[in-house]
């Protein structure tokens, strides 16, 4: 431990004037455990800083082949190590100059231990949660109904929320949002996806009931649905279906109703038709589609964004199933895939298939500028690949 | 699980104007190393906040170059230097035979100081019954760093032995 005399002697040799300095000196030394301490630095943004100060924790998630990500309760970040050529020392007891007044009666020595040093730190960048894996995991054991063969004999893996958090690189909130998006249902503590045909069967029961009761689509009574359809299918699934395809509300006297979403019902009906063939004649499809939806609902092509693609260059015009969730998750791979399918795209056609790639504050326009090349075709702006792609 | 390592280099230009190096900024040098951080199956590594209250605030000192101990005895326990402040609040560091002048800077992105803890994590109720425990790594936040003192100027040597004029 240095003494005041030693410090003053050093100052003299260094030709520094004591009068120019504040009378506080930190004598820095290296802590005993300096090399063995397993310290590392992690860069934070405002949100994360407040998160930590509130006592909340963070989790790093990743499979052996995946890049590590960091998750808070509702956000996901890419984790990288930034290596700097500078040396970073961290010192617990060291105060900044503004902490001390200019005049103190005498010089004060503050011994300060350097508890660690590093020349690298963890860098975090907000990213999209990697949830594509989720649907695949749940589809491996899709739910076909409580009486189905599969269900009774199944030894397939089932996943609870915690099980999913161990396998999916996403925060809990993002995971739950995605589960809702893909119409997953929690049955007996496990998340299940309904087999599509089964889901449509239940939806069909509901729309037939609406028809036979002469209800308006915006006033579907929950209790009647459960009573009338209960004998046919499990009540939780009837309610789940209503939640997926409608909006729940409570009216006078506490009665619960659902307002069916025309767009969602029409879209699901289209999927049911389109999945049976490679391509359809567009006008024939539109006719069959309109006839297949519940009476009173109107079909529109824009209901099929991200689900089907219309080919206006073929004679006759055709339509085929193309689900955005079946496309690659990585941005460059997604663009390669889309350009491999079709050389030139209009913004209108490609937007639904790249919307989910936009990061925070990123627009479709910015994404297109970065990953594609523009040109004009018949007076319309079209986008194509920046590099040669095999079609 | 893989972590991407990016190397950054502080770029200075030698200045003809004396001993003040011109600071040009940071330049990325290479970016291709992947560091394997956990070799086993999917893991969740927990980073927890301290058990009692707020994490404390530490100071960061950033220096260009490396520090070596003079007698090669290693750094642990040894003195590093004296940190002074001028009346205007400029930090002055005397390390060995050098004086460095620095600046107090508020960090745009604060740091969390993490301590690695290896321990045994009880996996779930079933595992507890059989006495099984997975050896696991987790981190704890020890402190936050919101400001740093950066010493960017070229260190000025202290001349202790001035030859007498004849």
**What is chain A's pLDDT, residue by residue, as a tens digit (391 residues)?**
778 888 888 888 888 888 888 888 888 888 877 765 678 899 999 999 999 988 888 999 988 778 889 999 999 999 988 888 888 998 998 888 887 776 677 778 888 888 888 888 999 999 999 998 899 999 988 998 888 877 777 778 899 999 999 899 999 999 999 999 999 999 889 999 999 999 999 999 999 999 999 999 999 999 999 999 999 999 999 999 999 999 999 988 889 999 999 999 999 999 999 998 899 999 999 999 999 999 999 999 999 999 999 998 889 999 999 999 899 989 999 999 999 999 999 999 999 999 999 877 789 999 999 999 999 988 999 999 988 765 5
**Which residues in A lie closer than 8 A to residue B157 (C-beta atoms)?**
none
Q: Quick check: B166 contacting A, CB < 8 Å?
A: no
In the three-class reduction of DSSP (H, G, I as helix; E, B as strand; rest coil), residue B115 is classed as strand
Confidence band (pLDDT; 50, 70, 90) for B125? Answer: very low
Contacts of B1 in chain A (CB under 8 A): 60, 62-64, 66-68
| Model pLDDT for residues A21-66, shown as the tens digit of each residue | 888 888 888 887 776 567 889 999 999 999 998 888 899 998 877 8
Testing the interface with B: which of A31, A68, A119 to mutate, by most B Cβ within 10 A?
A: A68
Q: Out of A24, A84, A89, whose CB is closest to B85?
A: A24
Is B78 near chain A, with CB under 8 Å?
yes
Of the candidates A10, A90, A167, the beta carbon closest to that of B145 is on A90
In terms of CA atoms, which chain A residue is nearest residue B59?
A91
Considering only CB atoms, B66 lies closest to which of A53, A87, A97, namely A87
Confidence of residue B18 (pLDDT cuts 50, 70, 90): very low
Scanning B116-155 for CB atoms below 8 A from A yields 116, 139, 141-145, 147-149
Tell me whether residues B80 and A28 touch, CB distance under 8 A: yes
pLDDT of residue B16: 38
Which residue in chain A is spatially nearest to B2 when comparing CA positions? A67
**Residues A41, B114: C-beta atoms closer than 8 Å:** yes
* Residue A113 in contact with partner chain B when CB distance is under 8 A: no
Residue A30: which of B48, B77, B112 has the nearest Cβ?
B77
Contacts of A89 in chain B (CB under 8 A): 60-63
pLDDT digits (tens, 9 = 90+) for B22-37: 444 445 444 445 665 5
Interface of A with B in 138-177 (CB under 8 A): 165-167
Considering only the beta carbons, identify the residue of B9, B76, B160 that sits closest to A32. Answer: B76
Residues A44, B110: C-beta atoms closer than 8 Å? yes
B158, A13: Cβ pair inside 8 Å? yes
Q: Which of B65, B84, B111 sits opposite A25 (nearest CB)?
A: B84
Asked if A29 and B78 come within 8 Å (Cβ–Cβ), the reply is yes
Distances (CA, A) of A161 to A187, A222, B25, B36, B100: 12, 27, 46, 27, 54
Higher pLDDT: B69 or B40? It is: B69
Instruction: Indicate the SS3 state at residue B20.
Output: coil
Residues A16, B99: C-beta atoms closer than 8 Å: yes
CB contact under 8 A, B144 and A16: no
* The pLDDT of residue B73: 62
């Amino acid at each position: 431990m240095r003494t005041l005399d030693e410090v003053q002697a050093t100052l003299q040799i260094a030709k520094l004037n004591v009068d120019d300095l504040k009378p506080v000196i930190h004598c820095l030394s290296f802590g005993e455990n300096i090399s063995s301490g397993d310290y590392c630095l992690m860069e934070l943004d405002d949100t994360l800083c407040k998160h930590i100060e509130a006592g909340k924790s963070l989790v790093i998630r990743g499979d052996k082949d995946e890049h590590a990500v960091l998750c808070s309760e509702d956000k996901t970040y890419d984790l990288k190590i930034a290596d700097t050529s500078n040396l970073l020392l961290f010192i617990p007891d060291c105060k900044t100059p503004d902490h001390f007044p200019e005049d103190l009666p005498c010089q004060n020595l503050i011994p300060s231990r350097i508890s660690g040093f590093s020349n690298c730190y963890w860098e975090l960048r907000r990213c999209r949660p990697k949830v594509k894996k989720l649907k695949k995991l749940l589809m491996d054991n899709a739910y076909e109904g409580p009486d189905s063969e599969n269900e009774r004999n199944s030894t397939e893996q089932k996943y609870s929320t915690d099980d999913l958090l161990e396998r999916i690189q996403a925060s809990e909130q993002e995971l739950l949002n995605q589960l809702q998006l893909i119409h997953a249902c929690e049955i007996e503590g496990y998340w299940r996806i309904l087999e599509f045909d089964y889901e449509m069967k239940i939806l069909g029961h509901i729309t037939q009931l609406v028809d036979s009761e002469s209800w308006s689509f915006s006033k579907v009574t929950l209790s009647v649905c459960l009573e009338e359809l209960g004998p046919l299918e499990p009540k939780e699934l009837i309610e789940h279906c209503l939640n997926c395809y409608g909006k729940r509300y409570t009216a006078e006297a506490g009665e619960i109703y659902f307002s069916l979403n025309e767009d969602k019902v029409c879209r699901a009906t289209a999927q049911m038709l389109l999945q049976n063939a490679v391509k359809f004649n567009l006008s024939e499809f539109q006719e069959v589609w309109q006839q297949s939806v519940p009476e009173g609902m109107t079909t529109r092509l824009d209901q099929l964004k991200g689900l089907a693609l219309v080919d206006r260059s073929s004679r006759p015009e055709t339509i085929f199933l193309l689900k955005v969730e079946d496309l690659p998750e990585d941005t460059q791979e997604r663009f390669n895939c889309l350009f491999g399918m079709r050389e030139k795209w209009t913004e209108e056609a490609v937007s639904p298939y790249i919307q989910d790639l936009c990061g925070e504050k990123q627009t479709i326009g910015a994404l297109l500028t970065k990953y594609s090349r523009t040109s004009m075709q018949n007076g319309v702006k079209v986008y194509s690949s920046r590099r040669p792609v095999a079609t | 699980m893989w972590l991407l390592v990016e190397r950054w280099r502080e770029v200075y230009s030698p200045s003809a104007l004396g001993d003040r190096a011109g600071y040009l900024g940071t330049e990325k040098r290479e970016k291709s190393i992947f560091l394997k951080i956990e070799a086993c199956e999917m893991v969740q590594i927990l980073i927890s906040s301290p058990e009692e209250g707020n994490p404390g605030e530490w100071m960061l000192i950033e220096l260009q170059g490396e520090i070596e101990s003079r007698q090669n005895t290693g750094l642990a326990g040894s003195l590093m230097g004296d940190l002074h402040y001028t009346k205007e609040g400029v930090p002055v560091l005397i390390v060995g035979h050098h004086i460095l002048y620095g600046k107090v800077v508020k960090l745009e992105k604060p740091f969390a100081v993490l301590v690695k803890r290896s321990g045994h994590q009880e996996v779930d109720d079933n595992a507890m019954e059989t006495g099984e425990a997975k050896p696991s790594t987790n981190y704890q936040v020890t402190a936050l760093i919101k400001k740093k003192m950066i010493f960017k100027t070229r260190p000025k040597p202290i001349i202790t032995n001035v030859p007498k004029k004849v």
